Amino acid sequence: MRRALQRIRAYWNRSAMFRAGAVITGLVFFFILSGMICRSWPPTAMDATARLSGFSAAHLLGTDHLGRDTYSRMVSGAGTTLFIAVGTVLIGALGGSVLGALCGYFGGPADEIIMRIVDALFAFPSILLALVFVSLFGSGRYHVIVALGIAFIPSFARTVRGEVIRERERDYVLSAGLHGISPLRIIFFHILPNTGDVLLSAVLIGFNNAVLAEAGLSFLGIGVQPPDASLGRMLSESQQYLFSAPLTALMPGILLVLMILGFSLLGEGVRSAGN
């Protein structure tokens, strides 16, 4: 825990991008947490007397075409998006790290075959791979997590493989091998901890991409399904009301941009501070 806090302090001191990303992300989380505590309308409740309304005491950020409170739906949708992003990155990072670490350390024909497959998958945008997997697994938040998680494995695998190849010839790795330490222990207890900056940057960029991918899938109608709220679905539903009720698109759009910008700055800040 102390080591983690020291790293965070070092990132904060070394990188202005990390500081900006931390502030933006902190504001987003504050908005979500405060909304969960203070909101007065459930995200699915409809107020038929206040359809497409603007700012008001009853509805702070207005309502949508069904009279649902925009503020409550933004809070719920952002929470859903973050939940999906966490699940996506867990699957992608764990699967990709194990695959990339084993391929990078042992090499050989298996490494060549696996990485050519990974390279072929990596040539396609993750959103396109996710579309394929969603069509196989079905829509809904848990299916989206699995689909995006699998689609994110190639990017993590390439990143980790490159770091392991760079580290495996270092003196501390060779010394560990001479002392009879098993290859798996060398990989997961010696090499990977020494690639922490690169892995953390990849995870944060993965969060950024996962938020964007989930919003894209929900915008297309194949991600989060009603009655669950999602920022992407809110943007999709508000298209035809852009001029008559711009708040229905503007507010969730701003929140989505801030989420993506915050994670992106954090990831770039970690990478720049680690160099």
Residue 77 belongs to domain with CATH number: 1.10.3720.10
pLDDT given for residue 258 in this prediction? 93
pLDDT band with cut points at 50, 70 and 90 for residue 260:
very high
**b or e along 108-131 (b: 16 or more beta carbons within 10 Å of the residue's beta carbon)?**
eeebeebbeebeebbeeebbebbb
Cα–Cα distance for residue pair 231/251, rounded to 1 Å:
10
Region 238-259: mean pLDDT is 86
Domain assignment present for residue 121? The answer is: yes
pLDDT at 275: 60
Whole-number mean pLDDT of the chain?
84
The reported pLDDT for the residue numbered 93 is 92
Q: Is residue 205 in a domain?
A: yes
Does residue 79 lie within any of the structural domains? yes
Per-residue model confidence (pLDDT) at position 19: 92
**Residue 60, in any domain of the structure:** no
* Residue 84, domain extent: 2-37+69-274
Determine if residue 136 is left, alpha or beta; phi over 0 gives left, psi from -120 to 50 gives alpha, anything else beta. Answer: alpha
Is 102 part of any domain?
yes
Nearest 10 degrees: Cα torsion 205, 209, 215, 219? 160
Domain count, the chain: 1
- Percentage, residues of the chain above pLDDT 90: 17
What was the pLDDT predicted at 238?
85
**Per-residue pLDDT tens over the stretch 55-98:** 777 777 878 878 888 888 889 889 988 999 999 999 999 999 99
Show the DSSP H helices in 68-140 as ranges.
Answer: 70-106, 108-122, 126-137
Task: Report yes or no on 53 lying in a domain.
Answer: no
Confidence of residue 188 (pLDDT cuts 50, 70, 90): confident
Tokens of 265: 């700055």
What is the model's pLDDT at position 274?
62
pLDDT value of position 1? 62
In a domain, 48, yes or no: no
Residue 104 and residue 165 in contact, taking contact as beta carbons nearer than 8 Å: yes
Rounded Cα distance, 148 and 213, in Å = 8
Q: Match 């997997």 to its residue by tokens.
A: 133
